[in-house]
């Protein structure tokens, strides 16, 4: 310790200041280096992911659909004679050859593309047992029933299995004479049953474990729209059974989700087969939804009685209450519909399903509990009476239409209030709001091809000219127009600030009321702003646009009975400090005139004409022929709204 006299204090203070300065410099340098380290680690991860993804694509691009594999003849004979299927679809043979070769693989194929056959058929012709991990018991029950109808020995293993079935499965797993080919189980059974895992290891030691098929494999990823914690346990499969192939299957997986799944399952760089997300026979349409309940029901009644008369379909709702209420309203109007949701008894759900399949019910009003594993080929319409939770959910749910390849329609009704009804349900999920805002963006879009938006979401290249006028935007092309909504954003910020002075928070509904001169006088003071001249629908579109572009943000508060979403300034609000900053929003412009006017007139299909076509087979055939003609012409055909 230095001795300090009075005259040396200044010198010591100078040294302390110099040391502090140097320490600050070192601290700043450490922060700089740590920041650079994080950047480099991120770049490394991105490049590694890119290499693995390219490797997967290269492996998937190899000639896996060859017919010279030793099992090919047996595979085709079983396909024809046992499954009663005449020919395979795209990627099915390649996927089967890969898994029969002992390779790990992921198959991404649209709803109704035939994913299940890719593990069922190999299981039947292969030795041993294929274990199928599935997230829902109802989905397993559907597949097990269908396989047993084909006289295929199959078992199902879940928490509610009776003791007799459980013992039968356990015994068959290690019985070399057993004909049991597939065992369906939930991921919870794998993670929580030590007895089962012990038996599974014995099955492996005896050479009877053929493969693991993981259905709805996107559930593994925390970045997916339907992450399920129990799926994380599946990562141990490759550790315990490194020589057993894994086949992951999903209809909905972005590139990020696919890479996350590969890492979680320890199958990085595995073979990947990816079918196009395009369903050319589906017509996509978004409709504004009235805030008046009676008008909503009137529109649905009109659709079911005229446009979709005698056609089979599904109407999706958000909650069980919405499902029950809508069912009752439609039945009062003489429509043959029933409801389907999680609170129904299993026997009731089975009855609804059976009567809908047979045609006794025209439509099922359902929550998302209805759909997984449903294989009704002649579904002519899927109507979303409210928003889906994500683009993935919407794609999967709407994809239950038109599995027979014939024209079908997917209509989504949208209004601002639906955003906040759903956001209070999903905000606690890691990607809940991001996924929800993705489907909101889809609804708000006023000019892009619906297929192009879907393809872009799933990282697929797509030319809108390939749509063949099978979405509302391509059928009625308009020239988009850019407008600056900055002044409206400033107005909304003033309304929020005024409410804060009044010690009040604004929901979207109250914000709209204040903006349009309604509600409490202190919130709609004329000193703040005059009500806008445009209609409320336009105002709602602006608020939704500001929300998904992060100029506004939801602020969630809890009451004993519910969760409430309030609006406040978002992260992008600071940009308005710059007077030159613009907030661009695309709005509808004039109808685009086509050079192919004659062809447009010949092929033009209005909403009414579409309905007639769907109700007349002769015209339906003509409709398909028109599609081929459009495709051959290479021109965009548009028509007036």
pLDDT tens track for 37-68: 988 888 888 787 777 777 776 676 678 999 99
- pLDDT band of 226, cuts 50, 70, 90: low
Percent of all residues in the chain with a pLDDT value above 90, rounded to a whole number? 57
Q: What is the sign of the dihedral through the CA atoms of 45, 47, 53 and 59?
A: negative
Q: Which whole number is the average pLDDT over 242-256?
A: 91
pLDDT tens track for 572-586: 999 999 999 999 999
pLDDT at 557: 95
What are 621's two structure tokens? 């055939």
pLDDT at 225: 59
User: Residue-wise over 136-173: b if at least 16 C-beta within 10 A, else e?
Assistant: ebbbbbbbbebbeeeebebbbbbeebeeeebeebbebb
Q: Which whole number is the average pLDDT over 379-403?
A: 93
Q: Cα(609)–Cα(619) distance, rounded to whole angstroms?
A: 10
Q: Cα(124)–Cα(127) distance, rounded to whole angstroms?
A: 8
DSSP state for residue 594 in the 8-state scheme: P
137, containing H or E segment: helix 137-149
Contacts of range 454-461, beta carbons closer than 8 Å, 24 or more positions apart: 454/277, 454/284, 454/391, 454/395, 455/277, 455/278, 457/254, 457/391, 458/252, 458/253, 458/254, 458/277, 458/395, 459/254, 459/255, 460/276, 460/277, 460/278
pLDDT tens track for 411-426: 999 999 999 999 999 9
Distance from the Cα of residue 463 to its chain's centroid? 21
Q: Which whole number is the average pLDDT over 266-275?
A: 90
What are 299's two structure tokens? 């529109």
Give 502: exposed, middle or buried? Use CB within 10 Å, 0-12, 13-18, 19+: exposed
**Of the candidates 422, 173, 158, 377, the residue with the CA atom closest to the CA atom of residue 281:** 377
284, containing H or E segment: strand 282-288
pLDDT at 641: 29
Catalogue the E-assigned strands of 481-597.
481-484, 552-558, 563-569, 584-587
Judge whether residue 257 has pLDDT over 90.
no
Residue 480 sits at φ, ψ, to 5 deg, of: -70, 150
Q: Which whole number is the average pLDDT over 504-508?
A: 95
pLDDT at 43: 85
How many Cα neighbours within 13 Å face the side chain of 563? 13
Entry pTM: 0.77
The residue ranking higher by pLDDT, 613 or 133, is: 133
The residue ranking higher by pLDDT, 568 or 477, is: 568
pLDDT tens track for 620-640: 443 444 344 333 333 332 333
Hey, how many other C-beta atoms are within 10 angstroms of the C-beta on 545? 22
Q: CA-based angle 510:320:110, to the nearest 5?
A: 100
H-state helical runs in 516-591: 536-548
pLDDT tens track for 317-372: 999 999 999 999 999 999 999 999 888 887 888 788 889 989 999 999 998 867 65
pLDDT tens track for 104-142: 999 999 877 889 999 999 999 999 999 999 987 777 887
- Average pLDDT over the chain, rounded to whole? 85
The answer to whether the CB of 353 falls within 8 A of the CB of 377 is: no
**Of the candidates 338, 418, 432, 348, the residue with the CA atom closest to the CA atom of residue 390:** 432
Q: CA-based angle 575:576:582, to the nearest 5?
A: 90
The SS3 call for residue 496 is: helix
């Amino acid at each position: 310790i230095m001795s300090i006299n009075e005259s040396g204090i200044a010198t010591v203070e100078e040294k302390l200041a110099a040391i502090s300065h140097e320490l600050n410099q070192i601290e700043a340098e450490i922060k700089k280096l740590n920041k650079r380290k994080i950047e480099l680690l991120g770049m490394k991860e991105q490049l590694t992911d890119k290499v693995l993804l390219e490797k997967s694509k290269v492996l998937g691009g190899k000639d896996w659909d060859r017919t010279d594999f030793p099992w090919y003849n047996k595979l085709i004979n079983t396909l024809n004679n046992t499954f009663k299927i005449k020919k395979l679809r795209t990627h099915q043979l390649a996927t089967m050859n890969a898994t029969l070769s002992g390779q790990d693989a992921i198959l991404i194929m649209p709803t109704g593309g035939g994913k299940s056959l890719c593990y069922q058929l190999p299981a039947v012709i292969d030795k041993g047992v294929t274990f199928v991990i599935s997230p829902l018991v109802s989905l397993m029950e559907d597949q097990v029933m269908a396989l047993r109808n084909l006289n295929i020995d199959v078992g199902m293993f879940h928490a509610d299995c009776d003791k007799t079935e459980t013992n039968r499965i356990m015994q068959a797993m290690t019985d070399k004479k057993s004909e049991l080919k597939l065992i369906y189980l939930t991921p919870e059974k794998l993670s929580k049953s030590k007895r089962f895992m012990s038996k599974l290891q014995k099955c492996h030691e005896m050479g009877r474990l053929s493969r693991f098929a993981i259905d709805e494999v996107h559930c593994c990823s925390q970045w997916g729209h339907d992450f399920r914690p129990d799926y994380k346990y599946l990562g141990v499969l490759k550790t315990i059974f490194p020589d057993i192939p894994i086949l992951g299957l999903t209809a909905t997986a972005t590139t990020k989700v696919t890479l996350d799944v590969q890492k979680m399952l320890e199958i990085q760089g595995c073979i990947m087969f990816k079918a196009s997300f395009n369903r050319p026979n589906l017509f996509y349409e978004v409709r504004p939804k009235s805030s008046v309940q009676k008008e909503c029901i009137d529109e649905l009644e009109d659709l079911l009685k005229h446009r979709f008369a005698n056609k089979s379909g599904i109407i999706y709702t958000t909650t069980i209450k919405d499902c029950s209420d809508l069912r009752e309203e439609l039945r009062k109007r003489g429509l043959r519909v029933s409801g389907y949701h999680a609170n129904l008894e299993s026997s009731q759900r089975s009855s609804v399903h059976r009567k809908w399949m047979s045609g006794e019910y025209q439509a099922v009003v359902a929550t998302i509990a209805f759909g997984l594993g449903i294989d009704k080929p002649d579904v002519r319409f899927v109507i979303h009476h409210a928003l889906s939770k994500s683009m993935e959910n919407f794609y999967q749910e709407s994809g239950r239409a038109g599995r027979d390849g014939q024209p079908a329609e997917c209509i989504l009704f949208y209004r601002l209030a639906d955003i906040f009804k759903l956001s209070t349900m999903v905000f606690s999920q890691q990607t809940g709001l991001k996924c929800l805002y993705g489907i909101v963006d889809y609804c708000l879009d006023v000019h892009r091809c619906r297929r192009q938006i879907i393809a872009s979401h799933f990282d697929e290249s797509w030319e809108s000219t390939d749509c063949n006028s099978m979405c509302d935007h391509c059928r009625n092309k308009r020239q988009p127009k850019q407008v600056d909504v900055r002044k409206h954003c400033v107005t909304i910020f003033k309304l929020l600030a005024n409410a804060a002075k009044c010690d009040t928070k604004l929901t979207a509904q109250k914000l709209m009321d204040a903006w349009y001169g309604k509600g409490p006088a202190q919130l709609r003071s004329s000193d703040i702003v005059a009500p806008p001249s445009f209609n409320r629908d336009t105002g709602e579109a602006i608020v939704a646009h500001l929300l998904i572009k992060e100029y506004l943000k939801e602020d969630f508060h809890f009451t004993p009975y519910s969760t409430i979403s309030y609006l406040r300034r978002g992260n992008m609000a600071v940009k308005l400090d710059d007077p030159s900053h613009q907030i661009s929003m695309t709005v509808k412009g004039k109808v685009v005139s086509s050079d192919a006017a004659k062809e447009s007139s010949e092929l033009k299909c209005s909403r009414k004409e579409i309905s007639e076509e769907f109700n007349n087979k002769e015209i339906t055939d003509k409709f398909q022929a028109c599609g081929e003609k459009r495709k051959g012409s290479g021109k965009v055909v548009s028509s007036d709204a």
